Structure 1
């Protein structure tokens, strides 16, 4: 493994820029996986990273050593950094010092939706997006379509919240949701607190597309008009609505319940 000790090293400067700038990550088509769990998940489901980075203090950690060994077996490029330099790349406090640099998948958006999918309209919060991806993967949904205004799915915060779900999904960014809704071959269900049909009364034994919207504004009126059906999640108390990630989990696992039952 190569040791980098200078903050003026060109590669280190490039990595620091990548770690601190969303624009740089998008432009480079690369992102960072921070921590043992994400790196393990990537090796298991996606393969070899572009670059493996480890802090000096963590290179002999019992959870890190097998990952480094596997990267080296696959002829991966591994770099050791002094702890002080490493900390400028990581956004995790008091974590185990391991980072992967990976290429973000560039997947062509299909023309038609034919299997259960999630369509996200202008979702803003990284934690919400990561949670939705995690729930979708756990519910057996494979495709997630993100509108142009939705937060970058491969940002470090979304990746941490997704806990490895990214590597089990096809994530399509900058998707034209209106076009996809108009050409969909399956029913599209939109969540709305004003709907009269309960989620539990909808037929979810068939493939459906789940249309979920902005945390405050919900799904846009334009897209709501294109949905096959609007459904509501009944709840008690004075709370107006559920968090979008919680709503998504209820919807996905009601579909699982109906299909299993």
Structure 2
């Protein structure tokens, strides 16, 4: 392992620039994975990171030492705990961050299975939670329309809890382009609180393209015009609406329930 001892270290300066700017992360094609859980999930699913930076304090933890032991020592750097604060966005976390290349998935030519479409969702926590639910339900592809928060930002990664490495995540996908790739049997389905069928009465036994809309504006006009199924989630407690991440989870797992063999 090598050591970083100065703020003037080129690698440290690069990591600090990435940590401070989601736009910089997007331009570089890299992501920062902070914490032991994300590091472990990445190693299990994707292999070796480009760089691992770990604090001297973190190396006192057995779990951190085990994770470091899985990484090529040539790619591991230690640094004092005091320097790590400029790289971290987690309070009271264990000092470890991996620098990795964003996992880029090619856009499928034909979409025949259930998928998710994130239509301008802007809250990082919501996007991460939806990705986590999608991965748990066995969905393979999630498509992010322009205007959706950057899926590989640090906040989305933390909320996703490793889901990124189990999904094909496609960003900046224009709705018309995606629509042209959907097989006829895939039902474009939106949630709608007015005049829609209760989700528990809808037939979700086949493939569904779930479209989840912006937190304030909802689903865009394009998807409203192209929806083949509109469902509502009954709310006997009288609330006007659900958080988009909660609504997505209800929809996904109601489909799972219906498809149980």
TM-score range normalised by the length of the shorter chain: over 0.9
Match of 1:131 among 129, 132, 148: 129
- Counterparts of 2:191 and 2:46, CA distance in 1: 32
Contact 2:175–2:222 under 8 Å retained in 1: no
- Counterparts of 1:195 and 1:153, CA distance in 2: 32
Counterpart in the other structure of 1:252: 252
**Shift in alpha-carbon separation, 1:76–1:158, aligned structure 2, 3 A:** farther
Q: In the TM superposition, what is the alpha-carbon distance from 1:89 to its structure 2 partner?
A: 0.2
Counterpart in the other structure of 1:29: 29
Q: In the TM superposition, what is the alpha-carbon distance from 1:184 to its structure 2 partner?
A: 1.3
Runs of 4 or more off by more than 6 Å in structure 1? none
- Counterparts of 1:183 and 1:13, CA distance in 2: 42
- Counterparts of 1:178 and 1:241, CA distance in 2: 28
Match of 2:87 among 76, 86, 89: 89
- Counterparts of 1:207 and 1:63, CA distance in 2: 40
Counterpart in the other structure of 2:234: 234
- Counterparts of 1:121 and 1:49, CA distance in 2: 31
Q: In the TM superposition, what is the alpha-carbon distance from 1:236 to its structure 2 partner?
A: 2.0
Structure 2: give runs of 5+ residues left out of the alignment. Answer: none
Contact 1:112–1:180 under 8 Å retained in 2: no
Counterpart in the other structure of 2:243: 243
- CA offsets per residue over residues 70-95 of structure 1, 9 Å max, x none? 103xx550010111111110111111
| Correspondence 1:176 to 2:151 | no
Superposition CA RMSD, Å: 1.2
- Mapping of residues 49-198 of structure 1, within 5 Å: 49-72=49-72, 77-185=75-183, 186-198=186-198
- Mapping of residues 3-42 of structure 1, within 5 Å: 3-42=3-42
Contact 1:33–1:99 under 8 Å retained in 2: yes
- Counterparts of 1:77 and 1:147, CA distance in 2: 35
Contact 1:34–1:98 under 8 Å retained in 2: yes
Mean alpha-carbon deviation: is it higher for 178-187 or for 154-163?
178-187
Find the residue that maps to 2:71 and give its secondary structure.
helix
- Counterparts of 1:191 and 1:111, CA distance in 2: 26
Find the residue that maps to 2:171 and give its secondary structure.
strand
Q: In the TM superposition, what is the alpha-carbon distance from 1:106 to its structure 2 partner?
A: 2.2
- Counterparts of 2:100 and 2:80, CA distance in 1: 21
Q: In the TM superposition, what is the alpha-carbon distance from 1:148 to its structure 2 partner?
A: 1.2
Relative to the length of structure 2, the TM-score reads 0.96
- Counterparts of 1:168 and 1:179, CA distance in 2: 24
- Counterparts of 1:208 and 1:38, CA distance in 2: 29
Q: In the TM superposition, what is the alpha-carbon distance from 1:196 to its structure 2 partner?
A: 2.2
Contact 2:190–2:229 under 8 Å retained in 1: yes
Relative to the length of structure 1, the TM-score reads 0.96
Contact 1:31–1:155 under 8 Å retained in 2: yes
Q: In the TM superposition, what is the alpha-carbon distance from 1:240 to its structure 2 partner?
A: 1.1
**Shift in alpha-carbon separation, 1:95–1:249, aligned structure 2, 3 A:** same
